[in-house]
Amino acid sequence: MRPNLPPFQERAGAALRDKTLKLAIDRTTGTAERNRAVAVAAWPEFQSARDLGRDIRAHVVNNIDHYLVEFERNAVASGAAVHWAATADEACQIVVEICRKAGAKSVTRSKSMLGEEIGLPHALEAAKIERVETDLAEHIIQLAGDPPSHIVWPALHKTREQVKELFAASHRDPGAMEDVEAMVQAARRELRAKFMAADVGISGANFLVADTGSVCTVTNEGNAELTTTPPRVHIVTAGIEKLVPSTAHAMALLRLLVRSATGAELTQYTTFHTGPKRPGDRDGPDEFHIVLVDNGRTKMLGDGLAEMLRCIRCGACLNHCVVYRHIGGHAYGGTYPGPMGSVLTPSLDGLPASRDLAHACTLNGSCQEVCPVKIPLPTLLRGWRDRSWREGLEPRSVRRALWAWKFVATRPALYRAVSAFAVLGMQLFAKRGWIESMPLAGGWTAHRGLPAPASSTFMQQYQARKRAAK
Amino acid sequence: MSRERILAAARAALGRTAPPDAAAIRAEAATLLAGPDRGRPPRTGTLTERFIERLTHPKVGGTVEQVAMLTDLPRAVRAYLSTNALPARIAVQPEPRLQALDWSGIATHDGVATDEILAVALADCGIAESGSLVFHSAPTSPTLFSFLPLHHIVALDTSKLLEWLEDYATAYTAAGQAQPRNVNIITGASGTTDIEGRLVRGAHGPGFLHVVLFGG
Ligand code: SF4
């Protein structure tokens, strides 16, 4: 979790009051949802492809020790240096050390959520190395000083008007920026020279291919290759779960990843990087380093969260989540937002600091329905709720309320009397079928209406019908 | 050492009592992909038709023309330059087959500049399923040729078209085959959806991709 955050309720409340944020979230997630729907409709085999995706990822997770060793062997044979980092700090130290050895003053980075997870931007800053984010969205949030708010569109919380202001204030040659096209051109001009001047390029990995030792990256913009090709040193930071057995397996997953993320069939640039520059090559890095990062993944494997390690970071569960679409990414407080983030954050940052996330879910199941590798996200979230209860992390008010509910619910006569009374009470506040405000329900009604209950309880109606039928 | 720590933690979590059986794991991985066309998208028309249909789809945004032979490429490039009112100064990939062509009337150089307007290259193969072009890095095929220019003109031999993404894997990455430093699978011109989800072309890579198909 980011340091010094107010409680989740406050963060979510602030996000709900921010109307510009809602507009920004709707613009991107709405487009993503529509584009994905079109791509999926054009693919009759989609469900069987999801089964395949699930099976490939589950196979890798179940044999992760084998694939790590195979990948390392082949990567080293191709001339790569492979480093292992058990923790986020260790990973950052390794990266900073490589940069220091290379005498790096300037580092270009192509978007990587793992880099965010391990706090690499801060580590580079602390080491006084200039960090240039090259993905357009990362460039925007670097200028704004914001953390990412989505795993595919990190600047999704910014409207075009806000981007224009940022560029106007910080670019050397922003131009008029009359439309989004012109803003993209402004960023292209601004970053071009920096790509060529960097000493080190850092990327993430979408897949680590075990049988070739290759690292696969995908981007729309071409910034990954411009980050990894000109500098003398290329460093990859990758979570250990990113492995796939072979290039063919990566291809099957790419189909799912891209359609689920953006609705395209393949990202513009899919690149397999294998080792450093070869004799006679005119470009490419002299050194190629791969940092394999655990940072809690082996713990997840033993902690009943193996299914979560299947995640290919497509972002579909965020785009289809009613909660994410109302509060956006920052309110979640961790590196990863939305449903997948609510499962990952307690594991990465500890349950005491993040127990609210598992509760901020309607369990409507949309995330699981769209997940290309069929991760049972609602079940995993319920697992965290359960654990939070067992570990005594739920506040006393919640425990008391649940005990009271249990007391009433296990006494049918009492339950009927109380619910009949509640229905009557709620009727007093209903207008045209909706309750806009009611004592004790402010937490709900501040941002949405509550459907008014029927005029009598289910049991009352049931009894009445039984009597009428006689 | 973290390597041993991570591997030991993984083995403990998986409940391994013996080292993993590599042959069994390899067999299981192969079985996963064995089903006929498992999970693949639908297809219609000939290989070339499918490639063209994907490449020119608005989501991909490439343009295409067909010529008889590779020697027709300079003519196609000249026409492109004049249609788009571009200067007759271009980068041509240091690939012997391209360098041997008759480029008269155009000033060519074999390196790609940071602000290159137009570069011409020869793709190693194409993938019909996604309308993609594949480049293998080599002394005759620098990677930046595909990323620095604003206009990217790519020649592709139709006999080098493959059906599926997996066919590329089978043909070029089978056991023991040496891998190029970079395999770039390029699907359309560079784009971004980072501002409000709307697709805009020409983010960092080329803004225009034109494919000249020859042969077949
Ligand atoms: S959990 Fe599933 S839907 Fe969500 S990002 Fe991961 S793969 Fe995509």
pLDDT tens track for A116-168:
999 999 999 999 999 999 999 999 999 999 999 999 999 999 999 999 999 99
User: Does the residue A238 lie in any domain?
Assistant: yes
User: Does the residue B115 lie in any domain?
Assistant: yes
pLDDT-derived band of residue A306, with 50, 70 and 90 as boundaries?
Answer: very high
- pLDDT at position A183 is 93
Q: Residues A37-42: contacts with CB within 8 Å, 24+ apart? A: A37/A263, A38/A263, A39/A259, A39/A263, A39/A264, A39/A265, A40/A259, A42/B41, A42/B42
- Residue A320's Cβ-count burial label (10 Å; 0-12, 13-18, 19+) is buried
pLDDT at A423 over 90: no
Three-state secondary structure call for residue B184 = strand
Q: Which residue, among A173, A254, A272, would best test binding to B if mutated, counting the most B CBs under 10 Å from its CB? A: A272
Please name the residue of chain B whose CA is at the shortest distance from the CA of residue A56.
B32
Count the domains in chain B. Answer: 2
Looking at the structure, tell me whether residues B131 and B176 fall in a common domain: yes
Three-state secondary structure call for residue A282 = coil
d(CA B146, nearest CA chain A) in Å: 9
Distance A240 CA to ligand 1 centre (A): 17
Question: What residues in chain B have per-residue pLDDT under 50?
Answer: none
User: Does the residue A382 lie in any domain?
Assistant: no
d(CA A282, nearest CA chain B) in Å: 6
Condensed to tens digits (0 to 9), the pLDDT of residues A250-289 reads: 999 999 999 999 999 899 999 999 999 999 999 999 999 9
Distance A131 CA to ligand 1 centre (A): 29
Q: Is A29 in the B-facing interface, judged by CB distances under 8 Å?
A: yes
Backbone angles phi, psi at B149, to 5 degrees: -70, 160
Looking at the structure, tell me whether residues A286 and A429 fall in a common domain: no
- pLDDT at position B36 is 64
User: Does the residue A54 lie in any domain?
Assistant: yes
CA distances from A157 to A146, A161, A166, A327, B182 (A): 10, 12, 13, 10, 34
The token pair at A310 is 């299947």
Note the pTM of the prediction, 2 decimals.
0.94
Domain boundary among A271, A297, A323: A297
Atom 7 in ligand 1: which residue has the minimum CA distance?
A311
User: Does the residue B40 lie in any domain?
Assistant: no
> What is the interface pTM, i.e. ipTM, of the complex?
0.97
The token pair at A396 is 């006393």
User: Does the residue B123 lie in any domain?
Assistant: yes
pLDDT-derived band of residue A436, with 50, 70 and 90 as boundaries?
Answer: confident
Looking at the structure, tell me whether residues B51 and B24 fall in a common domain: no
**Ligand 1 binding pocket mutation candidate from A375, A380, A381 (most atoms within 8 A of CB):** A375
Condensed to tens digits (0 to 9), the pLDDT of residues A140-153 reads: 999 999 999 999 99
- pLDDT at position A470 is 80
Looking at the structure, tell me whether residues B30 and B52 fall in a common domain: no
Q: Is A304 in the B-facing interface, judged by CB distances under 8 Å?
A: no
Range of the domain at B104: 45-214
Looking at the structure, tell me whether residues A415 and A266 fall in a common domain: no
Residue A130, phi-psi category: left (phi > 0), alpha (psi -120 to 50), beta (remainder): beta
Looking at the structure, tell me whether residues B172 and B90 fall in a common domain: yes
User: Does the residue A354 lie in any domain?
Assistant: no
Range of the domain at A77: 40-297
Condensed to tens digits (0 to 9), the pLDDT of residues A84-103 reads: 999 999 999 999 999 999 99
The CATH number of whichever domain residue A92 belongs to comes to 3.40.50.10420
